[in-house]
Amino acid sequence: MSRPISPLRQRMIEDMRLRNFSQHTVNAYVRAVELLSRHFKQPPQTMTPDLVRQFLLYLVQERRVASSTYNQIRCGIQFFFRITLGRNDTFDGAPCARERKRVPVVLSPEELQKLFAVIRNKKHKAMFMTAYGAGLRVSELVSLRVEDLDSSRMVIRVRHGKGQKERYAKLSTHLLSVLREYYKVYRPSGLLFTAESGKQMNTVVLGKILSYLGRRAGLAKRVTPHTLRHSYATHMLDAGADLRTIQVLLGHQNIKTTAVYMHVSQAKIAAAPNPLDILYGPKAADPS
C-alpha cells in the first residue's frame, strides 16, 4: 500500500503542473527534495541555504554525480524553496556546474543493421526502429498514441516533446511496414506501446533491454535510447539534410544543440579540406 502524499509535496507537484512541466521533470524535482530531506533526516522546509550547500557539495565530492544530475537536483531544490515555500533563499554559494561537452556516441549504419537483426520480439523491434527512424527521445517514444501515426501524410505527431512542445516527425515507408506488422500481433489502442500490464512502458527498463540487445549484437559501443536519436541526426546530416531541418525534426529549441552533430558526421569531416594537404598538395608543388 502506497503512502499518502504529504500536503507540501502535493503543493509542489501542483506548482509544477500549473507551469506545464513534463511528468519527467515533476518526478525529478520531487526526487531532488526527497534526497535532501533523507540526507539530513529532517523535513525539507526546515533547511537553510547553508545546509543545501553542504548537500550539493556532498553530491559533487562524495557521490561524484554527473554535472547534469547535479544541476537538475539543484534546480529542483531551488524550485521548492522559491516557488512552493515562497522563500527568497539563494544558492550563490553552490552555483550550477559547467557541463562537460561530449561528442555523442553514434552507431554506423552497419552497426544499426546488426542491432535490429538480433531483435526477435516484434514490439521491441517496432519500438527501437521508431526511436531511430523518427529521432525520438525515449519519453516521446513511450508517450506515442496510435492516432499519432498519420500514414496519409507520412508523419508522426510528437505531442510530448521537451518543454511540452509539439512537433511532427517523418514517418518512413519502412517504419510504417514494421509498425503495421506490430499492429497485427498486438492490436494496440490508446498508447502505441505498452508494458505487459497495459500501462506506459518504463523508460529505465527500455534502456536495459536496448543495452542487452547491443551486447547481443556484438557492438563495442554502449547503446542507449538516446544513442538511436544521436545516430538518426548524424545520418540525416550525412545524407545531406541541413541543420535547420534536423533542428525542427528533433525539436531542438536552439540550433547550437543541433550543431554538435557536425562533430560526428563522417561525411562532413571527410568533405572538409585539410590545410596541410592544401599546403603540400599537387598545386603547391607545381612550379608553374
What does the DSSP assignment read for 210-226? HHHHHHHTT-SS---HH
Tell me which of 125, 137, 160, 230 is the catalytic residue.
137
**So what's the pLDDT on residue 1?**
42
Q: Write the single-letter amino acid at 88.
A: N
| Residue 39 designated active-site | no
The three grid cell numbers given for residue 284, joined into one nine-digit string: 603547391
| Residue 17 designated active-site | no
- 195: helix, strand or coil: coil
| Residue 24 designated active-site | no
CB 109 within 8 A of CB 239: no
pTM tops 0.75, yes or no: no
Strands 155-158 and 149-150: antiparallel
pLDDT at 288 over 60: no
Query: How many whole angstroms separate alpha carbon 258 and alpha carbon 237?
Result: 10
- Can you state the angle between helices 67-79 and 23-40, rounded to 10 degrees? 90
- Report all structural domains of the chain as residue ranges with CATH numbers, in order of start: 7-84 (1.10.150.130), 109-270 (1.10.443.10)
pLDDT at 121 over 70: yes
pLDDT-derived band at 255 (thresholds 50, 70, 90) equals confident
φ, ψ dihedrals at 174, nearest 5°: -65, -40
pLDDT at 70 over 80: yes
Tell me which of 39, 162, 170, 268 is the catalytic residue.
162
Query: Please, what is the end-to-end C-alpha distance for the chain in angstroms?
Result: 87
7-55 tens-digit pLDDT: 999 999 999 999 988 888 899 999 999 999 999 999 999 988 899 999 9
Q: Which of 115-119, 241-245, 266-270 ranks highest by mean pLDDT? A: 115-119
